[in-house]
Amino acid sequence: MDSVSQELSERKKQILKAIIDAHIAGGEPVGSKYLVESKQIACSSATIRNEMAELEAMGYLEQPHASAGRVPSERGYRFYVDSLIEHYAMTAREISQINELLQQKMAELDQILLTASKVASNLTNYTGFAVRPKAQKVSVRRFDAVYLDERTLILVLVLSNDQVKTKTLRADGEAPLTQTVTDQLAAALNEHLHDLCANEITLPIMIALEESMGSRHDVVSPVIKAIYEVLNELEDSSLKVSGVDRLLQYPEFSSPDKMKQLLGAIEKPDDLLSIVSAPDEITEHRPNVIIGSESTVQVMDHSALVYIPIIKDGKNLGTIGVLGPSRMDYAKVLATLEEISGNISSILEDNDHRPGEKRLTDGSNNGG
Amino acid sequence: MDSVSQELSERKKQILKAIIDAHIAGGEPVGSKYLVESKQIACSSATIRNEMAELEAMGYLEQPHASAGRVPSERGYRFYVDSLIEHYAMTAREISQINELLQQKMAELDQILLTASKVASNLTNYTGFAVRPKAQKVSVRRFDAVYLDERTLILVLVLSNDQVKTKTLRADGEAPLTQTVTDQLAAALNEHLHDLCANEITLPIMIALEESMGSRHDVVSPVIKAIYEVLNELEDSSLKVSGVDRLLQYPEFSSPDKMKQLLGAIEKPDDLLSIVSAPDEITEHRPNVIIGSESTVQVMDHSALVYIPIIKDGKNLGTIGVLGPSRMDYAKVLATLEEISGNISSILEDNDHRPGEKRLTDGSNNGG
DNA sequence: GGTTAGCACTTGAACAGTTTGAGTGCTAAA
DNA sequence: TTTAGCACTCAAACTGTTCAAGTGCTAACC
């Protein structure tokens, strides 16, 4: 019927957009009268009513009850996000705010993600979250062992994703540790386990490692165990949430039941993680929007999730996003997330290829 | 009037205790009729009413409205906690549950505290929290520097509280790093900064440090900065909360307003921290109870805070506790926290003085 | 004196009935 | 095809009533 879409006439689109905009802003069902008064649509309320009835029949609108205005359905929001949304022009102030907030604490990945989610939450006034994805392929790029005393050594692991982890290991008997043994251990680890990830450490390799430690092969096994632990810990993806209290301001979540659901989802975040982490390989640098029951997880009733991956050198370093009611201000949220994500990426690149600085600079602290 | 307390007759105490017990269990105002029917008090409802009227005049009870039953006032709860409470006998099952849950992940302090707060939350069904106190006196017991490549070194700091922190430092120009410089740096740091805490690192010391580095004095300044950062980071006390959703089950918090207050308090935990961290020096190993407005922070209306320090060798390692409605089951909460705290302490002692083990054991990982 | 029984009183909760107003669908006219 | 008008629907807000819980008080009782 129309040039662009087979489904909706231009006027229907206008009406749908006006309804969704109004509902996003006010949170209440919007009626035909309001639309004519707001001057957005140039025809009478009766005409609008007819169009609205059709839009409802097509599934884009819903009516809470017979004499209420219309409310967008999930399908309506989806269409809005996909086709109707206008690009939100961030103010210079907002952009500079992002810059300012982000550039302070860019020390370490977890820090970055957490800060970014807080910024997102602040600017959009929804709840922000950050996810560090499980890194299945992480390996140890470099080992070091610090001799502390006869009974203690510290294992330092520099991982392939630039994180540094340490483990304190204690020897509780028999032969004391020495500086020599410690050095020998580090060298052996570097030789045998270099760039291997957890499931590539096989028995033959472990045996070779023990042999190269000669008489002190006794230290190998607990060290291997510690390394395993570190690598496995990284496979747990972690979720940080900020600004939960912001959700309370939306009447959608003011009922104790809804709130309890949501808090539960945040506390036991398996579901949330599975949604957000799913497109593991997809490194497309665009935000993703999930509205209500579009996820397989039914907890997200009446709410929506917008998230964007943080990508560096084609690797997905994590995901940040916001969680809010399905009537969230998608235009603003999308723009904000894109801006933040782009900002982080450029800072990360910067950090790596910065050319002529004068001295040692603080690159990243460990995950403390 | 009575032997033990100048204030309350034995019967008044019985009645007060019965009312509080009933209110804790049911959450509703309790009336005289209920008390006689529950057989706890051996006199008629009229007598109880008289006593209740007096208890109310004394400030131990309150009446939501004229025809409602009585509800304990904060003063009532306080008296209950101080004088009326019976020791809660934990079941063998509960104790073994604590043991089981705690002994799995005793790797690192933050871990311990977090796990402990989760256990507390689970067992009591209130919200649990854990605080690592700001450690003003933390110093570096041992430095090490790991040479990574010409532009990168990793600084390993073994702190006086057994935590291990690392910082990755990058040299972005001029003279490349070498293994020798790195070793020299570690030695110099150990010599000059050993056991000094942040405010003891004075200018003369820094100058001496630079001198001992000879021509490579250029690396000193960023390293010092990094050390400062680590020591300062530790001064931020951190709060971890678990089981927020449990709060929702108590009608006290079902109103959006109340909930919003509480979530706000949890998200911006300065107030909470100041309450819990206040008795910094007090190493008494007993739980502390704060009821409602007893704290200077008015957020805690209708709620109570019970917490206990975790102490090892007379040092306060942190605090765990629970947050719930003021009608919380104090007897159970107190017993649970004492048990957990004692349990942790004994495990910590164990870890340190364990005598004859065979091999390297995993002592503590860093805060990753 | 302390204790108890009985009664009048208060008050919020629950319920039913009414009004109000927003918003619709439909029909008929333009 | 659009518009004006009207009848209809329905939730929200308000009212009045009843109900039950629980009290305070008084008078009788031991």
Question: How far apart are the CA of B255 and the nearest CA of chain A, in angstroms?
Answer: 7
Best CA proximity match to B286, nearest among B318, B308, B314, B305: B308
Q: Which whole number is the average pLDDT over B30-50?
A: 92
Could A263 and B242 be called an inter-chain contact, meaning their C-beta atoms sit closer than 8 Å? no
Which residue type does B362 have? D
Rounded (to 5) percent helix, strand, coil in chain A? 50, 20, 30
Q: What is the pLDDT of residue A353?
A: 47
| pTM of the model as a whole | 0.80
Percent of chain A with pLDDT over 90: 43
Percent of chain B with pLDDT over 90: 43
The predicted-structure confidence for B172-190, as pLDDT tens digits, reads as follows 666 888 999 999 999 999 9
Integer distance in angstroms from CA B57 to C1' C12?
A: 23
The predicted-structure confidence for B289-339, as pLDDT tens digits, reads as follows 999 888 776 667 788 999 999 888 777 888 999 999 999 999 999 999 999
Q: What is the pLDDT of residue B262?
A: 80
**Does B154 touch chain A if contact means CB atoms closer than 8 Å?**
yes
Could B222 and A362 be called an inter-chain contact, meaning their C-beta atoms sit closer than 8 Å? yes
Nearest nucleotide (CA of B49 to C1')? D23
DSSP 8-state assignment for residue A176? P
Instruction: Using the predicted structure, report yes or no on whether residue A361 has a pLDDT greater than 70.
Output: no
Q: What is the pLDDT of residue A347?
A: 77
Q: What is the pLDDT of residue A297?
A: 67
Alpha helices in chain A (DSSP H): 10-26, 32-37, 45-58, 74-79, 92-104, 109-124, 179-193, 203-212, 220-235, 244-247, 256-267, 270-277, 330-353
Q: Which whole number is the average pLDDT over B191-204?
A: 89
**Does B144 touch chain A if contact means CB atoms closer than 8 Å?**
yes
- First-to-final CA distance of chain A: 60
What is the rounded distance in angstroms from the CA atom of residue A304 to the CA atom of residue A322? Answer: 8
Q: Which of B144, B233, B259 sits opposite A146 (nearest CB)?
A: B144
Percent of chain A with pLDDT over 70: 87
Token code pair at residue B9: 């007759």
Nearest nucleotide (CA of A70 to C1')? C23
The predicted-structure confidence for A131-172, as pLDDT tens digits, reads as follows 887 766 788 988 999 888 888 888 989 888 777 888 888 776
Mutate to test the interface with B, among A166, A167, A267 (most CBs of B within 10 A): A166
Non-local (6+) Cβ contacts of A39 within 8 A are none
What is the rounded distance in angstroms from the CA atom of residue B16 to the CA atom of residue B77? Answer: 9
CB-CB neighbors (< 8 A) of B152 in chain A: 363
CB-CB neighbors (< 8 A) of A153 in chain B: 360
Q: Which of B264, B267, B363 sits opposite A168 (nearest CB)?
A: B363
Instruction: Using the predicted structure, report yes or no on whether residue B346 has a pLDDT greater than 70.
Output: yes
Q: Mapped to the 3 state alphabet, what secondary structure does B221-281 carry?
A: HHHHHHHHHHHHHHHCCEEEEECHHHHHHCHHHCCHHHHHHHHHHHHCCHHHHHHHHCCCC
Question: How far apart are the CA of A305 and the nearest CA of chain B, in angstroms?
Answer: 20
Which residue type does A2 have? D
**Does B135 touch chain A if contact means CB atoms closer than 8 Å?**
no
Mutate to test the interface with A, among B210, B250, B360 (most CBs of A within 10 A): B360
Q: What is the pLDDT of residue A19?
A: 95
Question: pLDDT class for B28, splitting at 50, 70, 90?
Answer: very high
Q: What is the pLDDT of residue B363?
A: 46
Half-sphere exposure of B40 (CA within 13 A, CB side): 19
Q: What is the pLDDT of residue B211?
A: 92
The predicted-structure confidence for B213-246, as pLDDT tens digits, reads as follows 988 888 888 899 889 888 887 777 788 888 888 8
Token code pair at residue A120: 């997102």
Question: pLDDT class for A58, splitting at 50, 70, 90?
Answer: very high
The predicted-structure confidence for A199-249, as pLDDT tens digits, reads as follows 888 999 999 999 999 888 888 988 998 898 888 877 777 888 888 888 878
Whether residue A339 contacts residue A89, with contact meaning beta carbons closer than 8 Å, is answered with no
The predicted-structure confidence for A304-348, as pLDDT tens digits, reads as follows 999 999 887 777 888 999 999 999 999 999 999 999 998 888 877
What is the rounded distance in angstroms from the CA atom of residue B289 to the CA atom of residue B253? Answer: 20
The domains found in chain A, sorted by start residue, are 10-84 (1.10.10.10), 92-134+238-353 (3.30.450.40), 140-235 (3.30.390)
Burial of residue B281 (CB within 10 Å: 0-12, 13-18, 19+) is: exposed
Strand C and A70 CB separated by under 7 Å? yes
The predicted-structure confidence for A178-187, as pLDDT tens digits, reads as follows 999 999 999 9
Instruction: Using the predicted structure, report yes or no on whether residue A82 has a pLDDT greater than 70.
Output: yes
Instruction: Using the predicted structure, report yes or no on whether residue A130 has a pLDDT greater than 80.
Output: yes
Mean pLDDT computed over every residue of chain A = 83
Which chain B residues in 3-42 sit with Cβ < 7 A of strand C?
11
Instruction: Using the predicted structure, report yes or no on whether residue A89 has a pLDDT greater than 60.
Output: yes
